[in-house]
């Protein structure tokens, strides 16, 4: 019954029946707790063999993941299953095995001892084989990393959407930001790549784990940036919003904008990996992709210099939603809204470019010399590396014009800082082992 309610909640959400989806997952959670599924003893006493125990463990953790993601999409500050697991809660279910092992249906292929959530968390501070690049398999499954991702999303919800926090028991923004940034560094070498050598997605659990981290980063940084508020049309997009309580000081809003925009590009990179069999992936990808595309459109609206950089990725998001819209009403609705907003932003940008001579060199649109340096780097005939622009920014003492620096305002700072940070990140990513 719990498994059926979980599937019903996912299906109702994908059909854009959000209230019914919330009721279904709430009923599933209450039933699971009444049965004691959140305790590891439940699987041992309720199953005939090890594979059935694994199935019951996976049911609880799937409920945990779905409840957490729906809480984020439905704009809640906490998720109910998270309170059962964290802060000394009563849940102590062991973690699931790898997808390939479970799909065999053979108990003999299961690991002799399943790890716990405590083991997974403690890997960060131990000399575990998880750090050994010579190992061909991770001691923790892709499902375990997916659980870790939803736990981080729960922490994001707490620091972003709660107006009042309890002193001494709450997370801080800086702590959650560090945890999200560090997530990739703690992946086992076999979990860094989302795709196999043959180009196929490794497994959907790993795909979702990466997706959830990028989505959580968007939810954390969007409310603290100036991006979405510069795009009034985005208010029409329900699950494409990343609301929060309070805003950061304007002096650092461009840093939040850079982090949010960087996460959005990684989300659309995942979209390029799952084509053309996107229907095989979770419908939860719809809202994450929609939010990522909305952030990129907001960046284009507030900083026109970025419009050509993000135009194709927005078009990719529209294409993926078009494909998913043939199956899910949620994707069809998201497609309609995203097309409307994209048309307003990108068509206006094209007309603006034509007015200024075709948009081949956009330096005329920006008055300050710092922005021109970045644009020159973007439109260079070489690889467009932003490091070439740094020489224009690092002036010698005899070239320094203090009066000009005093007149350099915050808007100008944000105009060139975001493109620079994004290009620096692209440069680092090209030398990284991660595809996303």
Full residue range of the structural domain in which residue 63 is found: 1-109
Residue 347 located in a structural domain: no
Looking at residue 263, what is its pLDDT?
Answer: 94
Number of domains in the chain: 1
Looking at residue 60, what is its pLDDT?
Answer: 95
Residue 123 located in a structural domain: no
Residue 105 located in a structural domain: yes
The set of residues, in sequence order, having a beta carbon less than 8 Å from that of 40 and lying 6+ positions away, is 57, 92, 93, 94
CA distances from 74 to 151, 187, 213 (A): 17, 29, 18
Residue 91 located in a structural domain: yes
Distance CA 6, CA 40 (A): 20
Distance CA 415, CA 411 (A): 6
Q: Are the beta carbons of 14 and 69 closer than 8 angstroms?
A: no
Distance CA 102, CA 110 (A): 8
Tokens describing residue 341: 């907003």
Looking at residue 266, what is its pLDDT?
Answer: 92
Looking at residue 346, what is its pLDDT?
Answer: 83
Looking at residue 399, what is its pLDDT?
Answer: 46
Distance CA 433, CA 6 (A): 35
Q: Are the beta carbons of 122 and 166 closer than 8 angstroms?
A: no
Residue 1 located in a structural domain: yes
Residue 407 located in a structural domain: no
Distance CA 224, CA 260 (A): 10
The Cβ of residue 316 has, within 10 Å, a number of other Cβ atoms equal to 17
Cα three-residue angle 195-196-202, rounded to 5 degrees: 60
Tokens describing residue 414: 């944000």
Residue 39 located in a structural domain: yes
Q: Which residues of the chain, if any, have pLDDT below 70?
A: 86-89, 128-136, 161-171, 228-251, 274-279, 348-436
Residue 250 located in a structural domain: no
């Amino acid at each position: 019954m719990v498994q059926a309610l979980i599937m019903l909640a996912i299906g109702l959400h994908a059909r854009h029946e959000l209230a019914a989806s919330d009721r279904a997952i709430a009923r599933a959670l209450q039933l699971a707790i009444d049965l004691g599924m959140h305790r590891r003893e439940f699987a041992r006493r309720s199953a005939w063999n090890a594979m059935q125990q694994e199935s019951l463990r996976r049911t609880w953790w799937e409920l945990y993941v779905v409840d957490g993601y729906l809480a984020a999409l439905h704009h809640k500050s906490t998720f109910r299953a998270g309170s059962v697991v964290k802060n000394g809660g009563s849940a102590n279910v062991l973690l699931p095995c790898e997808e390939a092992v479970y799909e065999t249906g053979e108990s003999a292929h299961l690991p002799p001892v399943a790890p716990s959530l405590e083991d997974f968390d403690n890997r960060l501070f131990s000399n575990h084989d998880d750090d050994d690049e010579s190992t061909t398999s991770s001691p923790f499954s892709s499902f375990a990393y997916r659980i870790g991702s939803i736990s981080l999303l729960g922490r994001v919800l707490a620091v972003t959407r709660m107006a009042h926090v309890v002193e001494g028991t709450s997370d801080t923004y800086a702590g959650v930001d560090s945890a999200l940034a560090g997530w990739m560094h703690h992946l086992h070498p076999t979990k860094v790549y989302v795709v196999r050598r043959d180009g196929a997605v490794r497994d959907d659990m790993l795909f979702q784990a990466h997706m959830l981290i990028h989505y959580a980063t968007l939810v954390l940084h969007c409310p603290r940036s100036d991006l979405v508020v510069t795009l009034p049309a985005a208010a029409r997009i329900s699950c494409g919003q990343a609301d929060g309580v309070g805003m950061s000081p304007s002096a650092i809003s461009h840093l939040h904008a850079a982090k949010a925009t960087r996460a959005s590009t990684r989300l659309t990179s995942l979209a390029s990996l799952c084509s053309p069999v996107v229907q095989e992936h979770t419908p939860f990808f719809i809202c994450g992709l929609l939010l990522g595309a909305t952030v990129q459109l907001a960046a284009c609206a507030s900083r026109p210099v970025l419009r050509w950089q993000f135009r194709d990725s927005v078009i990719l998001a529209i294409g993926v939603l078009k494909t998913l819209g043939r199956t899910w009403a949620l994707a069809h609705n998201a497609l309609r809204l995203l097309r409307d907003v994209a048309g307003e932003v990108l068509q206006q940008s094209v007309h603006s470019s034509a007015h200024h001579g075709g948009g081949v060199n956009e330096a005329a649109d920006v008055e300050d010399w710092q922005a021109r340096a970045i644009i020159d780097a973007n439109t260079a005939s070489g690889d467009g590396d932003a490091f070439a622009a740094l020489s224009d920014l690092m002036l010698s003492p005899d070239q320094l014009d203090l009066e000009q620096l005093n007149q350099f305002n915050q808007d100008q700072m944000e105009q060139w800082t975001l493109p620079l940070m994004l290009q620096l990140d692209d440069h680092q990513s090209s030398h990284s082992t991660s595809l996303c």
